[in-house]
Structure 1
Amino acid sequence: MSFTAEINRRRTFGIVSHPDAGKTTLTEKLLLFGGAIQEAGAVKSNKIKKGATSDFMEIERQRGISVATSVLAFEYRGNKINILDTPGHKDFAEDTFRTLTAVDSVIVVIDVAKGVEEQTEKLVQVCRMRNIPMIVFINKLDREGKDAFDLLDEVEQKLGLKVSPLSFPIGMGYDFKGIYNLWEKNINLFTGDSKRDIEETIEISDLEDPELDELIGESSANTLREEIELVSGIYPEFDKVAYSNGELQPVFFGSALNNFGVRELLDCFINIAPSPRPKQSEERLVEPTESKFTGFVFKIHANMDPNHRDRLAFVKIVSGEFKRNVPYLHVRNNKKLKFSSPNAFFAEKKQIVETSYPGDIVGLHDTGNFKIGDTLTEGEILHYKGIPSFSPEHFRYINNADPLKSKQLYKGIDQLMDEGVAQLFTLEMNGRKVIGTVGALQYEVIQYRLEHEYGAKCTYENLNVYKAAWVEAEDENSEEFKEFKRVKQRYLAQDKAGQLVFLADSQFSLQMSEQKYPSLTFHLTSEFQ
Structure 2
Amino acid sequence: MARQKELKLYRNIGIIAHIDAGKTTTTERVLYYTGRKHQIVDVHDTKDGKGSTTTDYMEQERKRGITIQSAAVSTEWKGYQVNVIDTPGHVDFTIEVNRSLRVLDGAVVVFDGVAGVEPQTETNWRLADQYNVPRLCYVNKMDRIGANFAHCVKGIRERLGANALLCQVPLGSNDEFCGMADLVAGLGYIWISDDKDSKWESVPLEDLRARLKFSSTVDNDWVDQLPKLRQDLLESALAMDDDAFERLLETGEHDPVMLKKCIRKGAISGKLVPVFCGSSYRNKGVQQLLDGVVDYLPYPGENGGISMVDADGKVIGEQEVRDDAPARALAFKVINDQFGTLTFCRVYSGVIKKGDTLLNVTR
The TM-score normalised by the length of structure 1 is 0.56
Aligned ranges 1:352-431 → 2 under 5 Å: none
Q: Distance in 2 between matches of 1:222 and 1:65?
A: 36
Structure 2 CA distance for partners of 1:144 and 1:191, relative to 1, 3 Å: farther
Output the amino acid matched with 2:229.
V
Q: Distance in 2 between matches of 1:10 and 1:42?
A: 28
2:335 is the counterpart of 1:301: yes
Q: Which moved more, 1:225-234 or 1:62-71?
A: 225-234
Q: Distance in 1 between matches of 2:212 and 2:150?
A: 20
Matched with 1:216 is 212
Matched with 2:225 is 227
SS of residue in 2 equivalent to 1:141: coil
Deviation at 1:281, TM superposition (A): 2.5
Correspondence for 2:285 among 227, 247, 261? 261
- Bigger relative contact order, structure 1 or 2 (CA pairs below 8 A, ≥6 apart): 2
Structure 2 CA distance for partners of 1:233 and 1:6, relative to 1, 3 Å: closer
Output the amino acid matched with 1:119.
Q
Deviation at 1:49, TM superposition (A): 11
Structure 2 CA distance for partners of 1:258 and 1:218, relative to 1, 3 Å: closer
Q: Which has the larger radius of gyration?
A: 1
Matched with 1:27 is 27
CA displacement 1:94-127 (0-9 Å, x = unmatched): 1111110111000000001111100000000111
Deviation at 1:331, TM superposition (A): 2.4
Correspondence for 1:284 among 306, 309, 317? 317
- Is the 1:124–1:159 contact (alpha carbons within 8 Å) kept by the matching residues of 2? yes
Matched with 1:179 is 180
Q: Distance in 2 between matches of 1:263 and 1:185?
A: 17
Structure 2 CA distance for partners of 1:34 and 1:252, relative to 1, 3 Å: same
- Is the 2:28–2:54 contact (alpha carbons within 8 Å) kept by the matching residues of 1? no
2:87 is the counterpart of 1:89: no
2:282 is the counterpart of 1:252: no
Aligned ranges 1:77-226 → 2 under 5 Å: 77-193=78-194, 195-204=195-204, 207-209=205-207, 212-217=208-213, 223-226=221-224
Deviation at 1:171, TM superposition (A): 1.7
Q: Distance in 1 between matches of 2:42 and 2:20?
A: 18
Deviation at 1:284, TM superposition (A): 2.0
- Is the 2:56–2:62 contact (alpha carbons within 8 Å) kept by the matching residues of 1? no
Structure 2 CA distance for partners of 1:107 and 1:11, relative to 1, 3 Å: same
Structure 2 CA distance for partners of 1:214 and 1:266, relative to 1, 3 Å: same
CA displacement 1:252-277 (0-9 Å, x = unmatched): 01000111011111112112211012
- Is the 2:263–2:272 contact (alpha carbons within 8 Å) kept by the matching residues of 1? yes
Structure 2 CA distance for partners of 1:58 and 1:200, relative to 1, 3 Å: closer
Matched with 1:40 is 40
SS of residue in 2 equivalent to 1:126: helix
- Is the 2:52–2:62 contact (alpha carbons within 8 Å) kept by the matching residues of 1? no
Structure 2 CA distance for partners of 1:261 and 1:144, relative to 1, 3 Å: same
Output the amino acid matched with 1:314.
F
Q: Distance in 1 between matches of 2:21 and 2:56?
A: 23
Q: Distance in 2 between matches of 1:79 and 1:152?
A: 29
SS of residue in 2 equivalent to 1:145: coil
Deviation at 1:42, TM superposition (A): 7.8
Output the amino acid matched with 2:308.
S
Q: Distance in 1 between matches of 2:86 and 2:100?
A: 9
Matched with 2:312 is none
* Aligned-CA RMSD value: 2.6
Matched with 2:345 is 315
SS of residue in 1 equivalent to 2:120: helix
- Is the 1:186–1:201 contact (alpha carbons within 8 Å) kept by the matching residues of 2? no
Deviation at 1:60, TM superposition (A): 2.2
- Matched positions, count: 318
2:9 is the counterpart of 1:13: no
2:355 is the counterpart of 1:331: no
Deviation at 1:203, TM superposition (A): 4.1
Output the amino acid matched with 1:291.
D
Structure 2 portions without partners, runs of 5+: 238-261, 310-315
Q: Distance in 2 between matches of 1:290 and 1:281?
A: 17
Matched with 1:481 is none
What percent identity do the matched residue pairs reach?
29
CA displacement 1:432-470 (0-9 Å, x = unmatched): xxxxxxxxxxxxxxxxxxxxxxxxxxxxxxxxxxxxxxx
Matched with 1:524 is none
Structure 2 CA distance for partners of 1:275 and 1:222, relative to 1, 3 Å: same
Output the amino acid matched with 2:109.
V
SS of residue in 1 equivalent to 2:35: coil
Deviation at 1:150, TM superposition (A): 2.1
Output the amino acid matched with 1:328.
L
Q: Distance in 1 between matches of 2:278 and 2:177?
A: 10
